[in-house]
Structure 1
Amino acid sequence: MAGLGEHVKAMVRSHASGDDAAFYSVALQVAAREARSGHHVVAEDIKKAVDASRKTSPRPNLTRLPKQRAEVDDVVEETHPRLALRDLVVRPDLLEQLQHVIAEQRQREVLLRHGFAPAHRLLLEGPPGTGKTMTASVLSSELEIPMFTVRLDGLLSKYMGETASKLRSVFDLVAERRGVYLFDEFDALGADRAGNDVGEARRILNSFLVFLETSSPESIVIAATNHRTILDPALFRRFDTVLTYELPDARQTIAILRTRLGSLARSTSLAKLGSLTEGLSHADLVRAAEAAAKVALMRGDSVVSRVDLEYALTKRRRASIG
C-alpha cells in the first residue's frame, strides 16, 4: 500500500496548491493501479469522475509557479529548447525508441484511461558528448514542455544531509509541473558505493528510487550517465527504457557536420575524413563545424572549404585526445 500512500499524498499536495492538471494525473495513476489489480469497476468510476470534473472545472492558470519551485531553484535550471527530432543524429534503432516515447506521451491520456502508463522514466548511458543532453532537449521541444536540469553534483556536495528532502521537492515539482526533468551525471547518485559511505549514499539512492517509482507519467524523468559500469545494477529495472549512446560512425559524422554547417557546406566534400574524425563525439564534431564556419564567414566566404574543416577537426581531435 506504500505506493497508494504516495499517490494520495501527491493528490493532497496538488489539491492544496490548486494544480488541477497534477491532481487529475495522479487520480488517473490510481485508476491504472486499480485496473492492474483487477478492480475494473473502481478504475472506471475514477476515470469517469476525472472526465466529468475536467469538463466543469475552470481552465487552470498555466503561468502560476508551484510552491515547490522556490525550494529547488538553486539546484534546478529551467530552459525551453527549440530542437526538432531531425536535429538529433543517432542510430536508427535509438531514433525509433525516442519516437515511441514521444508517441506514448502524446497519447498519454488514452493510455492512462485504459490502465497503462506512458514511458516516462528513461536512463541514457554512453560516452560524453554523444547526444544524451540533446535528447532531453529534443523531447522537451517536441512535446512543447519545459526542460528542468537537476544539478546533482551541486545537490550532493552542498546539501549532503538534506539531499533526500531536496529530492522530494524536485519530485513534487515533477508532479506539479509537466516537463522533462534531466538528472545529468547520474552516476554521482546512482553509483554502487560498496565499501564507501554506504549508509548515506544508500539512503539517498533508495529515496530516489521511491520517488522515481511513483513519479507522474505526465512528466518525463531522465537520468543520464557516462559510466554505466559503476551504476548499481538494481537501477536498470526501475526505468521504462534504457537508451545506449555511442560515438558516431562515418555516416553519422557526415550527417552531423552537414546539419550544423547547413548552407555553408552546400559545395563542400565531407566524405573520407577518416582519421580526422576518429574518436570524436557528437559534441566534438559540432564544435569543429562551428569553428570552421566562423573562419569562413570572417574571411568573407559563404562556403566552408575542405581545408577549413580539416584544420578545425585536427585541432578538435588534438584537444580531445590531449
Structure 2
Amino acid sequence: MAGLGQHITAMVRSHASGDEASFYSVALQIAAREAKAGHHVLANDIKKAVDASRERAPLGNVTTLAQPRGEIAELVEATHPDVHLRELVAAPDLVAQIKQVLAEQRQRKNLLDHGFTPAHRLLLEGPPGTGKTMTAAVLATELSLPMFTIRLDSLLSKFMGETASKLRLVFDAVAQRRAVYLFDEFDALGGDRSGNDVGEARRILNSFLVFLEEASPESLVLAATNHRAILDKALFRRFDAVLTYALPDARQAAAVIKARLGTLASGTSLAKLGDYTSGLSHAELVKAAETAAKTVLMRGERAVGREDLIVALTARRTASLG
C-alpha cells in the first residue's frame, strides 16, 4: 500500500501544479503496478481512461479550462475570447489568410495523416492597434480554444538569466494543451542584434527559434510585432505565414466606427470621413467613436451626428499625430 500511497500523492501534486504530463505518467505507473499484481481489468481501465483523456484534452473546451497553475501561471495570461471573424475589419487578402489558417486547423488531422503540417506558427506584423491581438482572439474563438498571452518584454525583464528555461515551460504547455499562444511585444526578443550581440540575448533568441521549430501543430503559436524592420532575419523562415496589418482606409474606418456605434449610428452618414480618419488605427477609431457616443448620451440624445464624430476624430488625430 505504501507504493500506491506514494503514487496517489504524486498524482495530487502533479494535478495541483497543472503538470498534465506527470499526472498521466503516474497514472500509467499505477496501471503497470496493478497489471503486475494480476489486476488486469483495472489496469486496462486505467490505460483506457488515460488514452481517452489525452484525446479529449487537445480539442479544448473553453468553458471548463482552468487558469494556468504552477510556474506557468507566472508567465501567461489566460483568456476565453468571444470575437468572431466577421467582427474583424481588415483588408480582403489578410482575411483570406486568416480563413486559410482556420481551414487548415479544422482539417489538421486529415493533413497530418497525409504528411502535411497545418499552418500553426504565425508572425503578425504591423502598426499598433491594427488588429493583431484581435486576430489571435478570433482564431481562439473560431476554433473554440483558450488564448494564452505571453508578454515577452515582461518575461525578459522579470526572469533575465532564466528566460530560456521559462520559454521551455511555455512551449511544453504548447505541446500539452491545445490553445492559441500569443507572444506579444515580440520586438523584445526578436530584434536584429547583428553587430551588437550580447550573449544572453542571443542565447534566448536561439532557444526560442529551436522551440518554435519543434512547436506542436496541435496549438497555434503567434508572435506579434509593431516593428518588422528590426526583427532578426532568421525569424521569418521559422514561421508558416506572415500576416501584415496596416492602418485602415476610409471604407474600413467607416466600418470600424459603425460597428462600435451600433444603433447610435442609425441615420448618420459615415461617407467621406477620410480626411478625419486618415492616419488613425482601428483602436484609435474605436476610441473616437466611444468619445462621440458618450458625448451624445450625456446630452440625453440617442443618435451620434456626423459633427459629433468629426469633433471626436479631430481630437483623436491631434492627440495621436501630434
Query: Do Structure 1 and Structure 2 share a fold, with TM-score over 0.5?
Result: yes
- Is 1:17 the counterpart of 2:23 in the alignment? yes
Structure 1 residue 235: deviation in Å? 0.6
Which whole-Å deviations, capped at 9, do the CAs of 1:64-102 have from their partners, x for residues lacking one? 769x84212122100111111011011000000000101
How do residues 285-300 of structure 1 correspond to structure 2 at under 5 angstroms? 285-300=285-300
Count of residue pairs brought into register by the alignment = 276
Partner of 1:254: 254
1:56 deviation in Å? Answer: 9.4
Distance 2:100 2:69 in 1: 30
- Paired residue for 2:305? 305
Deviates most, 54-63 or 131-140:
54-63
State how far apart, in whole Å, the 2-side matches of 1:65 and 1:134 are. Answer: 22
Q: Supply the RMSD in Å over aligned alpha carbons.
A: 2.1
Q: Which residue of 1 aligns with 2:190?
A: 190
The amino acid across from 2:72 in the alignment is V
Task: Tell me the residue number matched to 1:89.
Answer: 89
Partner of 2:232: 232
- SS of equivalent to 1:161: coil
After TM superposition, give the deviation of residue 14 of structure 1 in Å: 6.1
Contact 2:21 2:176 in 1 (8 A): no
How far does residue 178 in structure 1 lie from its aligned partner after superposition?
1.1
Aligned to 1:27: none
Q: Does 1:104 align with 2:110?
A: no
2:60 aligned residue: none
1:262 partner amino acid: G
Q: After superposition, where does 1:194-233 map in structure 2 within 5 Å?
A: 194-233=194-233
**How many Å separate the matches in 2 of 1:184 and 1:64?**
22
Residue 54 of structure 1 deviates from its aligned partner by 8.2
For residue 116 of structure 1, what is the aligned residue in structure 2? 116
SS at match of 1:115: coil
Q: Offset of 1:107 from its aligned partner?
A: 1.1
AA aligned opposite 1:286: V
Q: Report the identity percentage.
A: 67
**1:77 paired residue number:** 77
**C-alpha displacement at 1:274, in angstroms?**
2.7
User: 2:186 aligned with 1:177, yes or no?
Assistant: no
Task: State the match for 1:315 in structure 2.
Answer: 315
**Aligned ranges 1:133-148 → 2 under 5 Å:** 133-148=133-148
Partner SS state of residue 163, structure 2: helix
Counterpart residue type for residue 147 of structure 1: M
SS at match of 1:257: helix
Residue 29 of structure 2 aligns with which residue? none
TM-score normalised per structure 1: 0.81
Preserved CA contact (<8 Å) 2:75 2:150:
yes
Deviation at 1:17, TM superposition (A): 3.5
2:272 is aligned to 272
Q: Is the Cα–Cα contact under 8 Å of residues 75 and 152 in structure 1 kept in the other structure?
A: no
State the 1:315 CA deviation.
1.1
Bigger radius of gyration, 1 or 2? 2
CA contact (8 A) 1:69 1:173 kept: no
> Could you say which residue in structure 2 is the equivalent of 1:165?
165
Long gaps (5+) in structure 1: 1-12, 20-52
What is the Cα deviation at residue 16 of structure 1?
A: 3.1
| CA shift in 2, pair 1:196/1:69, >3 Å | farther
Task: State how far apart, in whole Å, the 2-side matches of 1:218 and 1:69 are.
Answer: 21
Whole-Å Cα distance in 1 between the matches of residues 304 and 253 of structure 2? 16
**1:148 CA drift (Å):** 0.6
Would the alpha carbon gap of residues 238 and 82 (structure 1) be closer, same or farther in structure 2, given more than 3 Å must change?
same
Q: Which secondary structure state, in structure 2, belongs to the residue aligned with residue 205 of structure 1?
A: helix
Q: Measure the CA separation in 1 of the matches of 2:202 and 2:257.
A: 43
Which ranges of structure 2 fall in alignment gaps of 5 or more residues?
Answer: 1-18, 26-46, 58-63
**Between 203-212 and 188-197, the greater mean CA deviation after superposition:** 188-197
SS of 1:78's equivalent in the other structure is strand
In structure 1, C-alpha distance between the alignment counterparts of 2:258 and 2:276, rounded to whole Å: 16
What do residues 166-192 of structure 1 show as CA deviations (whole Å, max 9, x unaligned)? 000000111111111111110110011
Match of 1:125 in 2: 125
1: distance between equivalents of 2:133 and 2:213? 22
Question: Whole-Å Cα distance in 1 between the matches of residues 72 and 316 of structure 2?
Answer: 37
Which residue number corresponds to residue 36 of structure 2? none
After superposing the two structures, state which structure 1 stretch, 162-171 or 288-297, moved more. 288-297
Distance 1:184 1:256 in 2: 23
Q: Is the CA contact (8 Å cut-off) linking 2:89 and 2:256 kept in structure 1?
A: yes
* AA of the residue aligned to 1:277: T
* Mapped partners of 1:88, 1:160: distance in 2: 36
